[in-house]
Structure 1
Amino acid sequence: MNIAKRLQRIIARNKSSVVNLDEVFHIPEENIWRNALPYEQIPGPKPLPILGNNWRFIPYIGPYQIENIDKISKDLYQQYGSIVKIDKLFGRPDMLFVFDPDEIENVFRQEDVMPHRPAMPSLNYYKHVYRKEFFGEDAGVIAVHGEKWQKFRSKVNKVMLQPKVTKTYIKPIETIAMEFVQRIDKIRDSNNEVASDFLNELHKWSLESVAKIALDVRLGCLEDHANPDTQKMIDAVNTFFVNVPMLEIRMPFWRVLKDPMIYPRFKTYINALDTIREFKTYINALDTIREICMKYVEAALKNENSEEEQSVLQKVLRLDNNTKTAVILALDMFLVGIDTTSNAVGSILYQLALHQDKQQILFEELSNVLPDKNSEFDERKLDQMVYLKACIKETLRKYPVVIGNGRTTTRDLVIGGYHIPKGVQIIFQHCVISNTEKYFARSDEYVPERWLKSCPYENDVSLSKHHPFASLPFGYGKRMCLGRRFADLEIQTIIAKILRHYEVQYHHRKLDYYVHPMYTPNGPLKLRFIRRS
């Protein structure tokens, strides 16, 4: 809690402007607990008898439709304030929305050695029950918690989070980016416009990039007659993400299947049970991802590359000498590394098309760093592209691909002045916070300059000042996105290559954003790519 808030609360409590400064700058822990308000007093929508609050998420009936969760979160903030509780949710923990970056920082700073991230119990079931014979004890980092998570993460951190490792992939990622630039030439129509399925083309680029990084294999996703596994994998990943919120937020009837002895009894009737049809689709999608991934893992294990050219799988094998660890990490990379990156790139291109003045500034920077549009990348050139990074950060501030993250409390905490019990799911809805004037000046404007060390708007000092926990598109702390460095490299490279070769325009109605399954423009990205001379 910052000093100003602490001072305000002490004054309010004492009903006096005379305050002991020791109390302002240091509040004993016992006082924090003594003054904490009961959990039951946290404001939020009231549950109905029997139905609780689950009814709010029922399709066509409830007011909380998943694709509009960004707008719902904003309404919760405006109606109830900086801390909001949605309780009495059948089959899942209470949800606590926190819209205060001071309190978010407070939670992160206090987190345990093994923080619990409230992520996908259905995936936990898939890994630890349904396909336990495949995953065993090393189930990866996604939907895994406790000592198993810590053990696995410690094995792969050296490969995934070291900058020097990421830099070894600059050349292959650049090669794939250039192939995508060439593909744009092929898929443009006579008006230089791409078709409405352009986002799917970005999925192909992202899948090809992940395959190269994770396995050192080329899938041929960007070829005219693409590998049939390409679209199968993309569709399966999309299905996975679409079904996660449906299974976890709505009435989670799939949990009746969590006992492996019960599941076979349901198998013959599963098609007749509408309530668990989504679960079957979800399981089939995960099986498809696993089967396709394993097909190429087996080929990758036979590759013998120099240390510089090794895939992530090979690097992990060299460090840990455990094939299962390397395979599960590769699978997790395919699972969450495709849709997230491609949707981010689509959103960035769309915003630059809408803001031609910012695109021009970026083009001038790229022209200075890459005098020849076919100039090759290296680490030094990437470091010089500061405005490019600012444009990426600004897009992810306004439109974060994953609109929030969070933690499940592993012990009782005091948050926002309330006593929060163990087992509550805390949600940090950065999409709301980072679009609030309180935390970002001119928050409704697209201003990449706010992220530059030397902001050109000297008359607006507040523009470059923001709370470090008000925008966290990759999360924070021990459970921060494991593939962040690779995602940064992929996004920076593809945007730089496209903008160096094309001017990007958009000539249709302005698109709203929605969650499906990532936070993305709601409509076809019919962008126009004009070749630069």
Structure 2
Amino acid sequence: MCSNSYKNFIRIYSSHSRIISRYSHLKTKVNFLPYNAIPAARRLPIIGTTLDLIAAGSAPKLHKFIDGRHQLLGPIFREPLGPAEIVFLSCPKMMRSVFLYEGQFPAHPLPDAWVIYNKKHGCRRGLFFMNGEEWYNNRRVMNPLLLNGDEKYAKKLTLIATKRLIHKWKELCENSSQYYEVKNLENALYRWSIDVILFVMFGDTYNNASPALLTKMEEFSKNIYRIFEDSSKLMTFPAKIAEFLNLDAWKQFETNVTTVLELGNQVMDQSMVEFSNGDGMLAMMLQHGMPADTAKRIILDLIIAAGDTTAFASIWALYCLASNEQIQNQARSDVCNNEDHKYIKAIIRETLRLYPVAPFIGRFLAKDALIGGYEIPKGTLVILSLYTSGRDEMNFVDANQFIPNRWLRNESGELCGVHHPHATLPFSLGSRSCIGRKIASLQMQSLIELVVSSFRLKCLNDKPVDIILRLVATPDSEVKLAIKPIE
């Protein structure tokens, strides 16, 4: 996958990094190249490299376009996208070094359409949209609850929602001895993913939710799915121009977001009444002194985010399992015979390596940085190319193959088939890493365990399913999953 020049660059850079680290205490001056020396493709006046991106498939194929740039220019390059120039990285060592320069209050890029909407309507949002001290103070409250909390309790609540889904699927195919194709898999996993968050946020008491609240929640879930579709449409056209011209794509997005936030606030207001004294995350947030309004905003954004991210990560995992009977059987054996379920965890890790839900992770540098042998000024947007690094033969043996066993350590404690484990960072690193990573992992684990122990899986797609970007990495065609109950 990588050229000899690319390999030589990595070898030289690794040696360079070791030398800097060894002699940094001596304040040795090292000559780094200036920012303008970072490789960049030829560009045209005014429009830059826009025509190249359009030819590659525009925003939905951005991961392929950037991957092609890495093959041409190496593990670090500059590219003008939108109004600013961005530095892209695919070398694991360089990617990790970015988090040394993110500062106390890490800042990341946000979807233009959402930023414009929030500003226009004066919306205050959850953790993802917070910055500075507001983000820092609320993240400090959420870390012990979501990342260091009681895993057994979170797993119990996750299982409740997952068992509901499995029960529905069993009912659908109980009158058939053949494989049953799951209709609207995307919708089913979208709702399941939201249900998991609701159970974790509201606890066991969510089982006793009033009929009125459940009806409102169903309407809320359907509209969340719609705004995901609307957001993805605005990826292919500048949201600022779409809003200025009041195009149909913008009007539909604006209308549906307004509906979702109104419904979400109604749901949260009623939940505050029904669950604030319950045993879920909401009650804990309030007990830690978080204002009710802030708790509402954070939970609402977690619910919205859960539908996009974990649902599609789970679709990719089921697609990989359904496409490989041997791996499916090994997963079933792991569930039956091993308490630690290491192979299930390896399946999740391998899925997120090949199909990172967020193929790009970005940070605005909080200070001048020295990365990859170059000086990069403060304020520069640096993006980690996880799609490229995860499929690079320099980082993984048979990088384009789905091989969960690569994540199982041998008797010597080594990983076979993994040269650089940190070439895949599905939940990011640093203080602004994914706040929901623990719940997402438990959620995917419970789904895979219950699915493989309850059903045999078959993929009915005629050709391989590839990635297309719709804010997150989604299938470019519907994943056709067939299930057959195990006797």
Q: TM-score range by the shorter chain?
A: 0.7 to 0.9
Q: Could you say which residue in structure 2 is the equivalent of 1:14?
A: none
1:173-184 to 2 correspondences below 5 Å? 173-184=158-169
1:481-520 to 2 correspondences below 5 Å? 481-517=434-470, 518-520=472-474
The yes-or-no answer on 1:84 pairing with 2:56 is no
Question: Counterpart amino acid of 2:423?
Answer: A
The yes-or-no answer on 1:363 pairing with 2:332 is yes
Instruction: Write the distance in 1 (CA, Å) between the matches of 2:58 and 2:153.
Output: 43
CA pair 9-290 structure 1, distance change in 2 beyond 3 A:
same
The one of 227, 237, 260 aligned to 1:236: 227
CA pair 390-501 structure 1, distance change in 2 beyond 3 A:
same
Q: Could you say which residue in structure 2 is the equivalent of 1:116?
A: 107
Q: Could you say which residue in structure 1 is the equivalent of 2:155?
A: 170
Q: Could you say which residue in structure 2 is the equivalent of 1:373?
A: none
> Any idea what SS the aligned residue of 1:426 has?
strand
Contact kept in structure 1, 2:465 and 2:479, CA below 8 Å: no
> Any idea what SS the aligned residue of 1:94 has?
strand
Q: Could you say which residue in structure 1 is the equivalent of 2:64?
A: 71
Root-mean-square deviation (CA, aligned residues, Å) is 3.1
Contact kept in structure 2, 1:7 and 1:24, CA below 8 Å: no
1:88-487 to 2 correspondences below 5 Å? 89-90=81-82, 92-127=83-118, 129-132=119-122, 134-135=123-124, 139-164=125-150, 166-188=151-173, 191-195=178-182, 197-216=184-203, 217=206, 227-240=218-231, 242-243=232-233, 245-246=235-236, 251=238, 253-254=240-241, 270=246, 274=247, 277-303=248-274, 310-368=279-337, 381=339, 384-454=340-410, 463-487=416-440
Q: Could you say which residue in structure 2 is the equivalent of 1:376?
A: none
Instruction: Write the distance in 2 (CA, Å) between the matches of 1:320 and 1:23.
Output: 45
Question: Counterpart amino acid of 1:83?
Answer: I
The yes-or-no answer on 1:47 pairing with 2:16 is no
* TM-score, normalised by the number of residues in structure 2: 0.87
Bigger Rg, which one: 1
> Any idea what SS the aligned residue of 2:180 has?
coil
Question: Counterpart amino acid of 2:73?
Answer: Y
Instruction: Write the distance in 2 (CA, Å) between the matches of 1:146 and 1:163.
Output: 25
Cα displacement (A) at 1:295: 1.7
Cα displacement (A) at 1:530: 1.4
Runs of 4+ in 1 over 6 A off after TM superposition: 21-24, 223-226
Instruction: Write the distance in 2 (CA, Å) between the matches of 1:498 and 1:415.
Output: 44
CA pair 281-510 structure 1, distance change in 2 beyond 3 A:
same
Cα displacement (A) at 1:330: 0.7
> Any idea what SS the aligned residue of 1:515 has?
strand
Cα displacement (A) at 1:437: 0.9
* TM-score, normalised by the number of residues in structure 1: 0.80
Cα displacement (A) at 1:119: 2.5
Instruction: Write the distance in 1 (CA, Å) between the matches of 2:427 and 2:266.
Output: 30
Instruction: Write the distance in 1 (CA, Å) between the matches of 2:268 and 2:215.
Output: 24
Contact kept in structure 2, 1:85 and 1:97, CA below 8 Å: yes
Q: Could you say which residue in structure 1 is the equivalent of 2:476?
A: 522
Cα displacement (A) at 1:210: 1.9
Q: Deviations over 1:228-276 (max 9, x none)?
A: 4432222223433x14644xxx545349x7xxxxxxxx6xx72xxx4xx
Contact kept in structure 2, 1:85 and 1:95, CA below 8 Å: yes
> Any idea what SS the aligned residue of 2:84 has?
coil
CA pair 492-45 structure 1, distance change in 2 beyond 3 A:
same
Instruction: Write the distance in 2 (CA, Å) between the matches of 1:455 and 1:225.
Output: 53
User: How many pairs were matched up?
Assistant: 469
Cα displacement (A) at 1:9: 5.6
